[in-house]
Structure 1
Amino acid sequence: MLRHDSHVRLSTLLALLSLQAGLLHAQEADPAALPDEPGTDLPALTEPDANAPATDAATGPAAMMAGGSVSQNVTINLISRLVKRGMLTQEDANDLIAMAEADAQAARLRDESMRVAIADAAAPPLEEGDVGVSYVPEPVRQQMQAEIKAQLTAEAREQEWSAKNPKPEWKEQWEIFGDLRTRYEGTFFGDGNDNTGAFPNFNAINTGSPFDVAGTQFSPQLNVDEDRQRFRFRFRAGAGFDLEDGFSGGFRVATGDSNSPVSTNQSFGTSGGNFSKYQLWLDRAFLSYNFGKQLDADVNIDIGRFENPFFASEVMWDDDIGLDGIALRGSHQVADGVKVFGAGGAFPIFNTDFHFASNQPAKFESTDKYLFAGQIGVDLKIKDDLNAKFSVAYYDFSGAEGEFSSPYTPLTSSDAGSSDATRPSFAQKGNTYMPLRVIIPDASNGFGTTNQWQYFGLATPFKNVTFTGRLDYDGYEPVRLSAVGEVIKNVAFDENRLALYGVNNRGPAGAGGGSGAFEGGDMAWFLNLIAGSPSFDKRGDWNTFIGYRHVESDAVIDGFTDSDFGGGGTNMKGFTIGGNYALSPSVRVGARWMSAGEIAGPTLKSDVLQFDINAKF
């Protein structure tokens, strides 16, 4: 505090009052004339505020004055002169400067508050819907500016605002994908296979000219005794696109030796050989609509040609198969760790040619074939490291079985029968077949001894009930242990019809000659054990598997089942063993060995060895 020396106190007060009056007069004339830096405001000579910040003694005006430095602040220099002349002690000077700093800080806060109040009073009144914004201090504004800048920079990086060549909008809605596989495949036949004409190639007959069963030539026959080695490749490319508002779609093209529904393999050296070019087929083309938001579930409707929507093994459906028609599929979480799923639809299998029969003016009634199918299942999270998936499905292959024609006498091999369209348009091998044409014997055909041109259809209807399950155990991460199983029964199996009309899948003829007893069946089951990486996301990922299957002759339609095991088709049992290894996230190699043997009918054993290199993009 100031000392009570009257002479010093009076002189000091007079000097400071005079200085304050002069400075106030100068500020009114020219506000810019006074320095605008901390510590230069004119003290009000009031008692210091206890809450005001203290001046730093090491760097403030008092330290400057004590060190003999000259300040640009007139007041500080004046106080310094008074100290030098002995009119003030150093302690009094320090007290005066501290009070002046506190008063200056209080004045700045007061003036800023008055400025905001005046601005608010001058602003127009807020109307309904307007938002009033209070004064934001400078440090807060700077922090907000930094945060907004950081956020905008992150968004720009994510959305590629600053890219030199940003993606066009249409590219954001498209996803291009594809894969390439090259394969070595060797097929090796065991000793003792029946090569006496016991294995007609029904697909070759039904897709060509009808076969004269009364002739002296063998029908087209399957290879059952000569080993074959071939190099094959598969190329597929397509795109998926988002059409917004729940709509999406896609397409894919693929290679293939033919338009087979179960294989996109192209063998090198075929299709003309001599380095001839290969064909591309339209493999997928579909439109999809997701309306799950309205139902609080994931529900899609697909139309066109699309991926198989059913949860099934390769015994029921080959991995390459695509279905035509319309499908409804979806899933819904009903409880913690419990999700139900389902699929169903109608799928045209065959539609009669519009002009059938083309060589006569009166046309035959259309013979259309459909698959009507439905499936329901449940996904279960049993434990953190144990998951299960189970389903039951029903497949009704309506009209797939062969039918007898109206009786007639074909004059040439091209004279069509009324039921010719009931024959399969594609088949592999294994199902039981029956002749379709009811040919009237007369003089033109030697009373049934010549000109017996025939096509062949499936000898039984097919309605499959299928139980499929999968268990995944992740207790040994990153290795997953999985088991996949399936049981299938053809509940429409007609053994009496097969025994009467079936021409294959029979045992040895009896002592009296004629056909042997029918030996086919209606059941199939499959079990596959897998260990390894659940996905091939990085170099070094691997898996290995071993499986066994038993597929009786008429358990499933041979044209839709696995095309690799035993050369494709049904009426086989045996083992599969193999594995895969990732060379990179996009390239992997694999190998498998498949050993198969016939269940019913004459002996047929085969082993298939495959080495693959797969690349995807």
Structure 2
Amino acid sequence: MQTLNTPLKRTTVAVWLFTQLLATGSAHADERESLEQLRATTTNLIELLVQEGVLSKQKADTLLQKAAADAKASQEAHQASQQAGLSDDVKNEVNKAMDEKTVRVQYIPQHVKQAMREEIEHNVMEKLNYKAGERLGVPEWIDRISFHGDIRLRGQADRFADENEDFVELNDDLTRSMNLNNSSEERRRARVRARLAADVHINDWLSGGLQFVTGLLNTPVTPNQTEGMSQGKYQFALDRAFLQAKPAEWATVTGGRFANPFMYTDMLWDPDLAFDGVTATFTPKINDRLTSFTTVGAFPLEEVESSSLNKAKDKWLYSVQTGLKWTAPNKSSVKMALAYHDFKNVEGQLNTVGLNDFDGTAPAWRQRGNNTFDINTNNSGTPGQGTIIGLASKFELINFMAQVDLMNFDPVHVTFTGDYVKNIGFNQNEVLQRTGNLYKKENEGYNFRVDVGNSSFLGPYVQNVNAHEWQVSLGYKYLEADAVMDGFTDSNFRLGGTDAKGWYVYSNYAIDKNAWISGRYMSADTISGKPFSVDVLLIDLNARF
């Protein structure tokens, strides 16, 4: 058998062979299997040529139709000559013509056919990629990058209760400074969120990613940009930049700035919050039904340049979460996780008289709800020394979370999620010694939620959705003042922060593939602080690409 020297020749021969096979009117019985396998192989190659742009779809269809028509005509002519009782001379001429159309293929062992198929496909792909690069003028590495993103248009309405305290009074209470600009006037906004991300495949064990997003540069929890022509251009900033290594099938190590690596709800973490640092996740499989997962991580919150005049220290978060997932034969599942989150150096420290040596202990970002105090109290009578708000409590969180996902009504999921958190870092006597204030112990929170609908909308990130998929959710949240750090929890419930309780209802409906509308209504009240109740309505149009 003569060797094919180039991928292009192999492609040409494969296409030619396929057309001849379709046109063949007869073949020996022991050749039928080889002919059918070669027919399938060359059909796949023609489809591949169309996908890569080497052969147009129209030309490919014409080629296949002509080959099929020739085969049918040859068969009909052969049958007609036999049924019409033609003379031997005429039959001989017909058979001679049929023999010219017939291809005889010798028997080829199965392992040889498989090797030929793999070699042909490999060489054709190499040639097609090379040609694509020449034709499009793009480098080879472009094949290792995939882009995706989404756009969300939002209408938001914030309605405040008549009983709310004036926002000036809420801000001036230094034991729980609320960080507000409004507490009484209804506010309506048109908002937009846009995200553009690139996933990078570097090699078999290393990958990475980048993501740009809209939003204000001084907040880590929301990418929403309020619309308004007078404000000029939207800000578009880098929100993800990470490398991810997979040393084993059950182990992943990620470093840089990346999405939340934990199992969580928005009671602890806002869904848009990015994590900086390094994390490792281990997911060993115990058996066919039971899988374990453990995530550990170290995350810098704020770098402080300490000195003899600046005694504040770097703020860090150290976390570990471990859990189990059990899956039933019908794909229903139960998932439980226990987490420990230790925030280092986030509590405020009083400045020394005449110095600003602990200014850096004030948080760079906060929302509202945590107990606070003025860390500059010792210098309050000094000209030019203003109020500096610090957090009263340490934060050392124990979080337990459980989720039951029922698939009895597949493809509709019925999911129950429960979440409990306790800040064991709160110590009333320690807070009193550090701040001079006696704060009530309010360090617990819980959240319960029921979701009914398609799995595309489960979790904090919406996956690919199909037309008419849907989901509805109902939940209740209770989050005391120092249960979690108010700067990182959900930014929508009571407009962000802690010391909040109330109900919420969510809904999603896909109007087409990767396009859906969603609505959220959250009604939240104050637990123990001065009155500040807010109802928030969000109506979104989402598009994913």
Matches within 5 A, 1:188-587: 188-195=159-166, 197-200=168-171, 221-269=180-228, 273-274=229-230, 276-292=232-248, 297-353=249-305, 363-408=309-354, 417-439=356-378, 445=381, 453-498=386-431, 518-519=439-440, 521-535=442-456, 536-587=464-515
Paired residue for 1:59?
Answer: none
Give yes or no for contact 1:201–1:220 (8 Å, CA) kept in 2. no
Q: Residue 200 of structure 1 aligns to a residue in which SS?
A: helix
Residues of 2 paired with 1:528 and 1:479: CA distance?
Answer: 16
Alpha-carbon distance in structure 1 between the residues aligned to 2:172 and 2:296: 33
Q: Is the 8 A contact 2:221 2:270 kept in 1?
A: yes
The structure-2 alpha-carbon separation of the partners of 1:553 and 1:163, relative to structure 1 and needing over 3 Å to count, comes to same
Shift of 1:258: 3.1
What SS does structure 2 have at the residue aligned with 1:404? coil
What SS does structure 2 have at the residue aligned with 1:291? Answer: strand
Contact 1:337 1:382 in 2 (8 A): yes
Q: Map 1:106-125 to 2 at 5 A.
A: none
CA contact (8 A) 1:232 1:267 kept: yes
Query: More displaced, 382-391 or 579-588?
Result: 382-391
Instruction: Return the alpha-carbon distance in structure 1 between the equivalents of residues 153 and 510 of structure 2.
Output: 15
The answer (yes or no) to whether the contact 2:346–2:394 under 8 Å persists in 1 is yes
Structure 1 residue 172, shift from structure 2 partner: 2.1
Alpha-carbon shift at residue 245 of structure 1 (Å)? 4.1
**Is the contact made by 2:179 and 2:368 (CA closer than 8 Å) also made in structure 1?**
no
Unaligned 5+ runs, structure 2: 1-86, 90-103, 457-463
The answer for the alignment partner of 2:535 in structure 1 is 607
Taking the aligned partners of 1:451 and 1:162, their CA distance within structure 2 comes to 68
Deviations 1:252-273 (A, max 9, x none): 111112331111110012xxx5
- 8 Å contact 1:519–1:600 — kept in the other structure? no
- Deviation string 1:435-463 (CA, Å, 9 cap, x unpaired) is 1125258xxx4xx7x76522011101000
Call closer, same or farther: CA 1:308–1:201 in 2, change over 3 Å.
farther
Q: Give the equivalent residue in structure 2 for 1:597.
A: 525
Q: 2:317 corresponds to which letter in structure 1? A: L
Paired residues of 1:591 and 1:609 also in contact (CA < 8 A): yes
1:286·1:304 contact (CA, 8 Å) conserved in 2? yes
Change (3 A) 1:604 1:365: closer
Give, as a single letter, the amino acid of the residue that structure 2 aligns with 1:251.
L
8 A contact 2:154–2:538 mirrored in 1:
yes
Letter of the structure 1 residue corresponding to residue 107 of structure 2: V
| 1:275 to 1:396, Cα distance in 2 relative to 1, 3 A | closer
1:291–1:196 Cα change, 3 Å = closer
Mark the structure with the bigger radius of gyration: 1
> Partner letter of residue 394 of structure 1?
Y
> Would the alpha carbon gap of residues 591 and 159 (structure 1) be closer, same or farther in structure 2, given more than 3 Å must change?
farther
Deviation at 1:584, TM superposition (A): 2.0
Paired with 2:195 and 2:250, the residues of 1 have a C-alpha distance of: 28
RMSD of the TM alignment (CA)? 3.3
Q: How many residues align?
A: 435
Summarize deviations over 1:379-402 as a string: whole Å, max 9, x none.
Answer: 111342420111100000011111
Give the deviation of 1:531 after TM superposition.
Answer: 0.4
Q: Deviations over 1:31-69 (max 9, x none)?
A: xxxxxxxxxxxxxxxxxxxxxxxxxxxxxxxxxxxxx98
Q: Distance in 2 between matches of 1:500 and 1:604?
A: 29
Q: CA 1:556/1:201 → structure 2, altered by over 3 Å: closer, same or farther?
A: farther
- Structure-2 separation of matches of 1:196 and 1:234: 28
TM-score for the superposition, normalised by structure 2: 0.73
Q: What is the deviation of 1:365? A: 3.6
| CA 376–345 in structure 1, closer or farther in 2 if over 3 Å, else same | same
CA distance in 2, matches of 1:147, 1:221: 71
- Structure 2 distance, partners of 1:468, 1:526, is 9
Q: How big is each residue's C-alpha offset from its partner over 1:558-586, in whole Å with a ceiling of 9 and x where there is no partner? A: 00000011100000000110211112222
Task: Return the letter of the residue paired with 2:225.
Answer: Q
For 1:484 and 1:529, the matched residues in 2 are separated by 6
Q: In proportion to residue count, which structure has more helix?
A: 2
Distance change (3 Å), C-alpha of 1:162 and 1:491: closer
Give 1:499 deviation, angstroms.
Answer: 5.9
Alignment of 1:46-61 (within 5 A): none
CA distance in 2, matches of 1:498, 1:181: 43
> How far apart, CA to CA, are the structure 1 residues paired with 2:146 and 2:393?
44
- How far off its partner does 1:364 sit? 2.1
Q: 1:496 to 1:298 in 2, by over 3 A?
A: same
| CA offsets 1:183-221 (integer angstroms, 9 cap, x no match) | 000000112111173321899x99xxxxxxxxxxxx974
| Correspondence 1:91-110 to 2 at 5 A | none
Shift of 1:325: 0.9
Q: Read off the aligned partner of 2:150 and give its amino acid letter.
A: D
Q: Deviations over 1:75-100 (max 9, x none)?
A: xxxxxxxxxxxxxxxxxxxxxxxxxx
- SS for the counterpart of 1:496 is helix
1 CA distance for matches of 2:290 and 2:401? 17
In structure 2, the residue matched to 1:20 is none
How much has 1:155 moved relative to structure 2?
6.3
Q: CA deviation at 1:522?
A: 0.4
Quote the Cα distance in structure 1 between the aligned partners of 2:365 and 2:326.
38
What's the offset of the Cα at 1:477? 1.3
The CA distance in 2 between the partners of 1:146 and 1:466, in whole Å, is 58
Kept after mapping to 2: 8 A contact 1:351/1:366: no
Offset of 1:420 from its aligned partner?
0.5
| Residue in structure 2 matched with residue 88 of structure 1 by the alignment | none
1:198 and 1:602 in contact (8 A); partners too: no
Aligned position for 1:63:
none
Match in the other structure for 2:83: none
Counterpart of 2:274 in structure 1: which amino acid?
G
Q: Secondary structure at the match of 2:334?
A: strand
CA–CA distance in structure 2, aligned partners of residues 578 and 237 of structure 1: 25
Compared CA separation, residues 158 and 319, structure 1 to 2 (3 A): farther
**Superposed displacement of residue 147, structure 1:** 7.4
> Could you say if the C-alpha distance between residues 472 and 232 of structure 1 is closer, same or farther in structure 2, counting changes exceeding 3 Å?
same
How far is the alpha carbon of 1:308 from its aligned partner? 1.1
Equivalent residue of 2:429, what SS?
Answer: helix
CA distance in 2, matches of 1:521, 1:319: 24
Counterpart secondary structure, 1:453: coil
2:419, 2:447 within 8 Å by CA — same for their partners in 1?
yes
| AA matched with 1:430 | G
The answer as to whether partners of 2:349 and 2:434 remain within 8 angstroms in 1 is no
Q: Is the 8 A contact 1:201 1:429 kept in 2?
A: no
Contact 2:312 2:361 in 1 (8 A): no
Q: Which residue of 2 aligns with 1:184?
A: 155
TM-score (norm 1): 0.65
Output the amino acid matched with 2:297.
G
